């Protein structure tokens, strides 16, 4: 037998053959564009640690959504920055709150854009935690009521998907019940099921002004050392009624994305989070890496790991490359 028997380079010889044997395809259909919405008019303020990402008032937000829509991106996810914060995060479930108004305006202007809302009170509480606080402790069950009200007001406003990101136990069940008993049985729940206590959220907290004012989130977000636990979290959220589950962050957790996809056959979303975005932007600004190629390689790797959809601040930039 002449050596080598297999010449793998045969299938790498040109673009045509590469296209035929390619295993993973990233498309615009995979992308979800995260957007920050704040009060005011004509506001479009760049986030210092996230070049190319803005906090927008609703009028300017509609322009962002229009761009995404025109690029063919199927969905946006909204994060609200309210004018006032308090201990209960009451703006989070105000039917006239910033996100509720933004959802109505987006669905009016772009009825077939899928609108996802983040359901979590940390952007709305003065202490910056994702749950109610009593004597320095984060309360689980008392928080469920607030999350349910928040999800309900989002659904009333027209959100297609609500996405609880708080990591309180039992919140998917509580939200499902609140939606089903108010005529919103068709509202989808995308649960941040395996959400780790990560330092990669740093730039987001600047963007949303949501850093915890004391302690950290390790009593409710997952320990980065754990993998089996992500399977238990995901299974429980599915049992409680989640339609899509999320792994977050994405890059240091590609193994988790892979496991969840392989062991539990449900739609998997991955969140390519703020710190993952900022690192690439910082390195590219220094000409240390080719930002565009690194971006595409990262998104492809998340898809290859098993994610069917990717929440990413690169959404519009990547869509432009994919549409070229
Ligand atoms: C919580 C929430 C956070 C992110 C999304 N939803 C922040 C946190 O848990 O502190 C982070 C997203 C990112 O870093 O891009 N509402």
Query: Residue 102 and residue 211: Cα distance in Å, rounded?
Result: 23
Helices 58-71 & 315-323 angle (0-180, nearest 10): 30
> Does residue 314 form part of some domain?
yes
Q: What is the pLDDT of residue 12?
A: 97
Structural domain containing residue 292: 24-322
CA 55 to CA 37: how far, in whole Å? 6
DSSP string, 192-205: EEEEB--GGGHHHH
Element (H, E) at 238: helix 228-240
Q: Tell me if 109 is assigned to some domain.
A: yes
Q: Which residues contact 26 (CB under 8 A, 6 or more apart)?
A: 296, 299, 300, 303, 318, 322
Q: What pLDDT, on the 0 to 100 scale, is given for residue 4?
A: 80
Nearest residue by C-alpha to atom 8 in ligand 1 = 201
> What's the pTM value of the predicted model, to 2 decimals?
0.97
Share of the chain above pLDDT 70, in %: 99
Gap from CA of 123 to ligand 1 centroid (Å): 9
Q: What does the pLDDT read at residue 176? A: 98
Is 17 part of any domain? no
- Tell me the CA–centroid distance for residue 22 and ligand 1, in Å: 33
Cα torsion 199, 202, 205, 210: sign: positive
Catalytic (active-site) positions:
195, 248
What is the per-residue pLDDT for 209? 87
Q: What is the CATH number of the domain that holds 311?
A: 3.20.20.70
Report phi then psi at 290, rounded to 5: -85, 100
Within a domain: residue 45? yes
Which pLDDT belongs to residue 306?
98
201: Cβ below 6 Å to ligand 1?
A: yes
Q: What is the pLDDT of residue 1?
A: 65
Q: Which regions in the chain score pLDDT beneath 70?
A: 1-2
**What pLDDT digit, counting tens, does each position of 171-218 carry?**
999 999 999 999 999 999 999 999 999 999 999 998 998 999 999 999
Segment 118-142, tens digit of pLDDT: 999 999 999 999 999 999 999 999 9
120 lines ligand 1 (CB under 6 A): yes
The answer as to whether 94 is a domain residue is yes
Q: Would you state the pLDDT for residue 3?
A: 75
Could you tell me if residue 258 is inside a domain? yes
Which pair of tokens denotes residue 243? 């339609």
Provide the domain count of the chain. Answer: 1
Does residue 9 lie within any of the structural domains? no
- Tokens describing residue 196: 């780790």
307 lines ligand 1 (CB under 6 A): no
């Amino acid at each position: 037998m002449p050596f080598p028997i297999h010449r793998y380079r045969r299938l790498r010889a040109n673009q045509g053959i590469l296209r035929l044997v390619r295993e993973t395809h990233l498309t615009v259909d995979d992308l979800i564009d995260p957007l920050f919405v704040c009060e005011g008019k004509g506001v479009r303020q760049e986030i210092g640690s996230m070049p190319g990402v803005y906090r927008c008032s609703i009028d300017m937000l509609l322009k962002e959504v229009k761009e995404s829509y025109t690029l063919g991106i199927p969905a946006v996810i909204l994060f609200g920055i309210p004018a006032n914060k308090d201990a209960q995060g009451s703006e989070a479930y105000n039917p006239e709150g910033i996100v509720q108004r933004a959802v109505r305006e987006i669905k009016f202007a772009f009825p077939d854009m899928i609108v996802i809302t983040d359901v979590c009170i940390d952007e709305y509480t003065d202490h910056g935690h994702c749950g109610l606080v009593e004597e320095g402790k984060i309360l689980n069950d008392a928080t469920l009521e607030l999350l349910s009200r928040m999800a309900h007001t989002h659904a009333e406003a027209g959100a297609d998907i609500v996405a609880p990101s708080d990591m309180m136990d039992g919140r998917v069940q509580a939200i499902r019940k609140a939606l089903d008993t108010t005529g919103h049985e068709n509202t989808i729940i995308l649960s941040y099921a395996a959400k780790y206590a990560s330092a990669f959220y740093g730039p987001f907290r600047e963007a949303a002004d949501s850093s915890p004012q004391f302690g950290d989130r390790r009593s409710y977000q997952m320990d980065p050392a754990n993998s089996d636990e992500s399977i238990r979290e995901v299974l429980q959220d599915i049992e409680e009624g989640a339609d899509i589950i999320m792994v977050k962050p994405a890059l240091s957790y590609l193994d988790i994305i892979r496991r969840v996809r392989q062991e539990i056959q449900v739609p998997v979303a991955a969140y390519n989070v703020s710190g993952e975005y900022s690192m690439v932007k910082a390195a590219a600004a220094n000409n240390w890496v080719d930002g565009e190629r690194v971006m595409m390689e990262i998104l492809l790797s998340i898809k290859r790991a098993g994610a069917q959809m990717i929440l990413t601040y690169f959404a519009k930039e990547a869509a432009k490359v994919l549409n070229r």
